[in-house]
Structures are given as C-alpha cells and as structure tokens.
Amino acid sequence: MVQKAAQGHVSPETVATGIADSHAAAVEFPSMSMAEDAPVGRIAQRMVDGQFDKPFLVSEIERFTGVKAAIPEKPGTMLIVIPQHGYWAAELTLPDQVFRAAGYEVEYATPRGQRPFAFGVSLDTTFRDQAWNAPQVSPGEAALGARYNDPATTEGQRLNAPRNLHEWLPPTPRPQHGEASREAYRRALSDGLGDATRYAGMVIVGGAGAYMDLGGNTSVRPLIQVFAALGRPVAAICYGVQVLIQAVDPATKVPLVWGRLATGHSEQDDYTDGTTDVPVEGGYGPNYGSAPITLEQMIKQYTGPRGGFISRNGSPYMAVADGPFITARTTPDGYPAALLALAQLHGADQLPATYVIDGDGRGHQPSGTEVRRAGG
C-alpha cells in the first residue's frame, strides 16, 4: 500500500519510492504461445487446406465446451460487422470459416458499405508485436487472410459489396436535426431492426479500425440491442469489444453489459506508447497511436461493480460468454468465440450462462478470483 504524504510524517521521496515500487511489482512478464507454436496456426492451416469441415467443427465445440451440438443442414445466416479502415485478418477469417463450416450463410456490413481492408501486418509472418517482441501471425493465418484481402478470390469477392450500416440503420439524430427528425428516425430504425431479426447472431470484428469506424457508431448500438433482446449471440473480438460495451439502453443510458463479465486486452497487453507503430518502408511509422483508454479499464467501467473483466495473460485462447454477449481477448480468439456462439445456438442449453475459455481445450464456469472489477 502506498502511503499518503502527511506533513511532517512521510517525506515526498518516500511517497515517490512507494509508488515506483508498486508499479514495478505489478508488471507481469507472462509467456505466450506465438505464431510458431500457437494452436490457432494449426486451425488456420486446416482451413486453408480445406480440412475444416462440419464433423471436425462439431468435435471442436465439444472439446472446448463439452456441448454436443446438433447443427441442422441450413441453420440460417450470420452477420459480421467489419471496420472499413483496418481489421485484423484472423478476427474476420476464423469466425467466418467456423460459421460457414457449420452451414451458415454469412453476410457482412461496414459503416458506409465500402470494402474493408486488412492491416498489412496481420498478413505478415515476419511482423513482431512490440508488446511481446514475438511473431504474431502464423503461415496459416497469413494465407487465409490473403485470400479474403484479395478481391479476386472466392473469399475476397464476398467482401466486395458489404451492407451499408449507415443506410440500413440510421444514426441517432443530433440536436441540430430537431424534433421533426424523431418520427422519420423511428420508422427507419424500426424497418432496419425488423430486417436484422432474420440473422441468427452477429460478430463485431476488431483491429484498430474498430476505434475509428465503430467506437462512436450509433447505427450499430440498436443492432446489438435487438440481438441481445432476442437472446441471440453477439460476439465481439479484440477492439470490437469496445464497440459492444458502448451499447446502452436508450432510456436509462445503462450499458447492456452492465453486471456482465467480459474479456479484452489486459493492461499488460494493450496498445500503449509505440505499440501501434507498424512497419513501413525504411522503418516503422505511426498507425493510430495508443489506446485512448485501455480496454481493461473501459470494460471494468461499463460492466460495473457486479460485472467485471477476465483475462489470463499468456493463455493461447481467451473468450468469455455471459448471456448473449461473447467477448474475445485478441487476434486468435474469434475462433473460440465462434465456437461459443454455436454452442449457445445448437447446444440445447447445455452451455452454462457464463463460461470462460482460457486455453486450448475445455473451459469452465468463472470463479470470483478470476474477475477484476473497478475499484476492486
């Protein structure tokens, strides 16, 4: 405990030393499975090779969750919302491949209906993340991402004409629009949300572009709310989580995740000074800078004193389900998040309401010691 300076009792130097000691003691140096040996590399390569089929998928759902999923031949359509200005390739490709192997049709939406692009570093097996100084992208992830990023491939062609989120679901009117805008907004939003009910669930893809395109996007918030109200899974990956947690009840302004558990980048693994620099010719250049607030602290504030944040640094996978909300920590974790969504949809209520995957295998119901809360 850092002592508070009181005149005549504790010197300023003692206070400074105590704070320095507490910061140094709190630093974590976990090890993590990186590109060479991470389980996601094997899964991505299986997808590249066309060996990720429905029987294997069903076995993976059971391996991670214990749920014996019964997925019909044509289960429906999933929606994936993608930032236009830079997504991390695996955060799109892995869940997309999972849902397609399950038999789902998949449709995409971007903020203005423009084709999204993948961050170049998410396709680069030589890229070394500045936080870990280790390779982040396996050959399988890079090859799969390159297919989606190429407008001429089968996968890439599907991204050429995504839905226009802005036209589909009108943004919240601003004060300048006046009372006259209310009824037109209500009608358009009602029509858009009615159309959204044909989807079985939704995924919000991350990458730093999610901060730029979706963080303050008011079109996506009622979309999240309608899925949650219908009890359909809403999965958010990496910085897609900061999009999810900002969805609120419009009357009370209480976040929809209030009282829920969620994961995302931890303090030790978030974008801080210099960690969003990306390789450019001749060296490194700035990307979007540091996170304006770390995702861990944002999650703690939005989930409140009865919710909280869970993350085990160094685990090869990290995803948390709490009710309809499924959150994935970082780049490979769209894979277990998609498995959780299918376990919810096709597991006949076998999956507990709250469930944590923090490794390459069977997860568990969370314990109180895992949860970090604001002020706790």
Q: Which amino acid is at 174?
A: R
Q: Which domain holds residue 212?
A: 35-370
The pLDDT of residue 286 is 42
Q: Please provide the distance, in angstroms rounded to a whole number, between the alpha carbons at the two ends of the chain.
A: 14
pLDDT at 301: 95
- Provide, rounded to the nearest whole percent, the portion of the chain with pLDDT above 90: 76
| pLDDT value at 341 more than 60 | yes
Is pLDDT at 228 greater than 80 in this prediction?
Answer: yes
Q: What is the pLDDT of residue 272?
A: 66
* Total domains, the chain: 1
Q: Where is mean pLDDT largest: 115-119, 266-270, 274-278, 323-327? A: 323-327
Q: Considering the domain boundaries, does residue 236 fall inside one?
A: yes
Question: Given a cut of 80, is residue 133 above it in pLDDT?
Answer: no
Residue 29 belongs to some domain of the structure: no
CA distance 194 to 226: 9
| 349 domain-assigned | yes
> Residue 170 and residue 44: Cα distance in Å, rounded?
36
**Which runs of E-coded beta strand occur in the chain?**
77-81, 105-110, 128-129, 134-135, 163-164, 201-204, 234-237, 261-262, 278-280, 283-285, 308-309, 319-322, 325-328, 354-357
Q: Is residue 17 in some structural domain?
A: no
Q: Is residue 4 part of a domain?
A: no
pLDDT value, residue 215: 85
pLDDT at 37: 83
Look at strands 134-135 and 201-204 and give their pairing. unpaired
| 7 within domain boundaries | no
pLDDT band at 285 (very low <50, low <70, confident <90, very high): very low
Question: pLDDT > 70: what percent of the chain?
Answer: 91
Q: Is the pLDDT of residue 205 over 80?
A: yes
Mean local confidence (pLDDT), 163-182: 95
Q: Is position 20 within any domain?
A: no
> Averaged over 240-255, what is the pLDDT?
96
Reported confidence tier of residue 211, pLDDT bands at 50, 70, 90: confident
User: Is a pLDDT exceeding 90 seen at residue 33?
Assistant: no
The DSSP bridge pattern shows strands 234-237 and 201-204 to be parallel
| CA proximity to 96, closest of 36, 150, 156 | 156
Helices (H), 78-219: 89-101, 139-149, 154-158, 165-168, 182-196, 209-213
Higher pLDDT, 27 or 230: 230
CATH of the domain at 356: 3.40.50.880
- Whether the per-residue pLDDT at 3 is higher than 70: the answer is no
The residue among 240, 228, 169, 222 whose CA lies nearest residue 201 is 228
Q: Where are the beta strands (DSSP E) in 269-342?
A: 278-280, 283-285, 308-309, 319-322, 325-328
- Tell whether 80 is covered by a domain: yes
- pLDDT the model gives residue 102: 98
Rounded to an integer, the average pLDDT of 275-291 is 52
Q: What is the DSSP letter of 128?
A: E
Greatest alpha-carbon pair distance for the chain in Å reads 76
Mind listing the pLDDT tens digit for each residue in 76-121? 999 999 998 889 999 999 999 999 999 999 999 999 999 998 988 8
- Position 146 pLDDT exceeds 70: yes
